[in-house]
Amino acid sequence: MSVTSALCFEASGVAAGIRYSKKDVALVRSTVPAVGGAMFSRNKVQAACLQVNRANLAAADPQAVVINSGVANSATGATGYANAVATAAHTASLLGVEPEQVLVLSTGVIGVQLPMERLLPGVESAVSALAADGGRDAAQAIMTTDTRAKETAVAGDGFTVGGMAKGSGMIHPDLATMLAVLTTDYPLDHDEPIAFLRPAVDATFNAISVDGDCSTNDLVLLLANGASGIERTPATDTAFAAALRVACEDLSRQIVADGEGVTVLAEIQVDGAVDAAQAKAIARRIATSPLVKTALFGHDANWGRVLMAAGSAPYNGGYADIDADRTTLRYNDVVVLDRGTPTGVEPDVSGPSCAIALELGLGDGSASYLTSDLSLDYVRINGDYRS
């Protein structure tokens, strides 16, 4: 179960000594011609690698992606951009492809230049180590504060979707420091990967939050090489879209479950909103509220905090619509507020997961979010992240 589960993909992960004494350079490639598409962080501060990747994707279909952990290569100016270009070019020369066919990803500390004297030899080692069973090594090499590698594989009828991701902190929608590489042997044409990727990402990676902070480096990449040889039909397209979404759901859930200092995983469900956009705004506000998240850490069903957050969800220059007298709120299927009236029932929220469901009674809009608690360990981890 890995990024190399689909046919004709290889990967590797090696230690280059960039920042940690661990694997820190990963490489994934298709051994047969592939097409690809990517979604990027919407943060206005864009890491050098993302700038290079936008240009490369506009010029060619990606055949490989090289990733380093430890240094984000963000806010590094012209030197950082040149280093990203040089990394792509060096990798391409070793793989026998064009520089524009290689994407470059980085994750780690912002504002630090890449140690190219270590990174480029690391790339050479990664190329030498490429293997069909190298997915686990690659997934380990992209970790920063992650405590475990995040991998997935979904078998379809005649095709496979594989993938890996990293992310533990600085996780929030609009591509929450999150990186994900998805691979498939399903056949897609040049301009099709993004059409399948966007709805899958919007429903999964763009509906998670650990700390409400949107990284400068986030990217989700889909590589498709058609090596399965499956005959495409409308039915197989539907099946592929479903498999891709399942893979994205799996990886996004692994990211939140491994969030920095996380002890509680919480699912936020909003139904009955005026429309889907307002439902998502409300779910997002609840999922990112520090007061809701600290209550989760304390295993306290302090549901007034959920109402507070729902009633202050930014939307279209104001707040999303909510009428407290029509609102029903449940914790783990226990009604604590029934159409504006408290029930006086205290739900059990002592476990490692919590389901919070809000029914607004205003329309048919619905949305869900996956979030986590905010713990003392989160402060500790991020208080000394650079030391």
177 is catalytic: yes
Evaluate whether 98 touches 60 at the Cβ level (below 8 Å).
yes
For residue 15, how many other CB atoms are within 10 A of its CB? 16
Tokens standing for residue 14: 């090696």
Evaluate whether 377 touches 297 at the Cβ level (below 8 Å).
no
C-alpha 386, offset from chain centre: 23
Evaluate whether 350 touches 249 at the Cβ level (below 8 Å).
no
Q: Which of 85, 148, 76 lies closest to 108 in space, CA to CA?
A: 76
Question: Would you give the DSSP letter of residue 148?
Answer: S
Active-site residue, from 177, 204, 216, 371: 177
Gap between the Cα atoms of 217 and 134, Å rounded = 24
Question: Would you give the DSSP letter of residue 227?
Answer: T
Tokens standing for residue 188: 């897609």
HSE value, Cβ hemisphere, 13 Å, CA-based, for 280: 12
Active-site residues: which are they? 177
